[in-house]
Structure 1
Amino acid sequence: MKYRPITFDRLAAELTERILGMAGTRWVRVAIDGAADTRLLADALVDPLRINGRAVLRVSTVDFLRPASLRFEKGKQDPDARYSDWLDENALRREVLNPLSPGGDGMVLPALWDAERDRATRLDRVALAAGGVLIADGELLLGRGLPFELTVHLSVSPSALRRRLPEGDRWALPAFARYENEVRPAETADILVRVDDPRHPAVAA
């Protein structure tokens, strides 16, 4: 696969242009998927879209994790649980994605669960205006059939991911390896970006 070097700012600009060009959809739901840098890229899209007249709602899937009693049922460092049991996929669909589906009412719950405090956030729903953009970031999002209009995968090679993950999180490496083998996000995503070195991203041509 060929890659085109790009600056981070230019990457954000190109993604903004792509999203702005997605006419004919009442809402545009965008997923920024990957094991690293997803929050940075998702945040970088907010202001350019708003400057161009689009309402934007940012959601992080870390705010839709299951309670600790369910996530850690098999232990706090179980890669298979990280892969399949941590994300409350049904809640993400119900509270975020379905309200922005055709026929939805646009009322979104921006966060459901505070994983650090292990309790509900108790936030109110917010309205995303017609024509608005949802930008959701997180890990292991593809291959679940989640309804996004645009998916971006930030790819990191196994060796680079081992270097970049904090030592205390390296137990999760088998979960990301399984994701690569079973879901093949590089082939599934609409846009593929290599971020082995976050200072020098590259877009699949």
Structure 2
Amino acid sequence: MDGFHNPRAIRHRQGRDSADGYYLDAYDFEAFSRLVLEPLGPGGDRKYRERIIDLRSDTPIEEPPVLAAEDLVLVVDGSFLQRELVWDEVVFVDTPFEVARERGTRRDAELLGGLEQARRAFDQRYHAASRHYLAEVGPVDRASVVLGNADLANPALRRIGGPADAVVNLFSYGTLQTPSVQVEHFGRELRGVQDVLPGYRQDWVTITDPAVIAVSGTDRHPIVRHTGDAADTTAGTVLEVTTAELAAADLYEVDDYRRALVRLGSGVDAWVYLAVG
């Protein structure tokens, strides 16, 4: 979103240190929607603009549109993105304020006139505006993916698959049906309904992750592969899980598996872990 800031005269019209000025005036969401989201959306011509301003020089930029590939996936990063815009997926990168302040002030000290000036700007403008956004919009609960970012070397997947109050179906044909595994990874035993996965044949994989082996009690886990043959079916259980629990399931499954959305024999759609490749 840096290329879709408003000009400085608009960004700073409520004062250079104004939190409301940053929250309400920093970004030109209307131009971003018109020049990026609409042409890349349904019925659009795929001709979008990459930026409209050079932020450092505060100079408007008139560049020709870029033609997007038909299979392009647009990923946008920036502040306050859930305030006005609607997205297919939202990844909220959750960083504690004290950690973000330390990173941001070191990064922007030269740009903002020194370390003390940067600290003041973060306290009075940027983070004050961010607290307003969190309180008014509730972006963490609305996001479909939440990633803990306190430790850059070890990001933590906290939730995936929908907003905080969502419940999703997870089809398990293996160790996630075991109550002890459920309690270890979800903190509770899950309710389940028997179902089948048509067009898939069960196979076996040897697990090497000692943590997974310790919880499941075995290094031999089932895995299913797509055959497309209706005669091949895999029996299992449909479990109702929260999006936080789906994230915990993702962390439990090793790299031999990938999660995909499938239609079960009952007609219910559910997530399932399939063989990679």
Which category of TM-score, normalised to the shorter sequence, fits these structures?
0.5 to 0.7
Question: Residues of 1 paired with 2:154 and 2:4: CA distance?
Answer: 30
Unaligned runs of 5+ in 1: 1-60
Q: Is residue 2:130 matched to residue 1:176?
A: yes
Residue type at the aligned position of 1:196: A
- Correspondence 1:1-205 to 2 at 5 A: 61-144=1-84, 146-166=85-105, 167=115, 168=118, 169-170=121-122, 171=124, 172-204=126-158, 205=247
Moved over 6 A (4+): none
- For 1:101 and 1:177, the matched residues in 2 are separated by 31
How far, CA to CA, are the matches of 1:104 and 1:184 in structure 2?
30
What is the SS of the residue equivalent to 2:38?
A: helix
Aligned length: 144
* Counterpart Cα distance in 1 of 2:87 and 2:131: 23
Cα shift at 1:158: 2.4
Give 1:174 deviation, angstroms: 0.7
* Higher Rg: 2
- Measured against aligned partners, the alpha-carbon deviations of 1:95-129 in whole angstroms (never above 9, x if no partner) come to 00011111111000111111211111221101112
Gaps of 5+ in 2: 106-114, 159-246, 248-277
State the distance in 2 between where 1:143 and 1:191 align: 17
So what's the TM-score if we normalise by structure 2? Answer: 0.50
TM score, norm. by length of structure 1: 0.66
Secondary structure at the aligned position of 1:165 is classed as helix
Aligned equivalents of 1:157, 1:185: Cα separation in 2: 15
Contact 1:97 1:147 in 2 (8 A): no
Name the structure 2 match of 1:38: none
Root-mean-square deviation (CA, aligned residues, Å) is 1.3
Residue 133 of structure 1: how far off its partner (Å)? 1.2
How far apart in 1 are the matches of 2:138 and 2:86? 18
Q: Distance in 1 between matches of 2:76 and 2:32?
A: 10
In the alignment, the residues of structure 1 paired with residue 151 and residue 91 of structure 2 have an alpha-carbon distance, to the nearest angstrom, of 17
SS at match of 2:74: strand
Amino acid at match of 2:96: S
Higher helix fraction (1 or 2): 1
Describe the SS at the equivalent of 2:26: coil
The code of the aligned residue for 1:198 comes to L
Identity %: 28
Structure with more relative contact order (C-alpha pairs < 8 Å, separation 6 or more): 1
| C-alpha contact (below 8 Å) 2:14/2:20 kept by paired residues | no
- The CA distance in 1 between the partners of 2:63 and 2:87, in whole Å, is 23
Select the structure that is richer in strand: 2
Which has the larger displacement, 161-170 or 182-191?
161-170
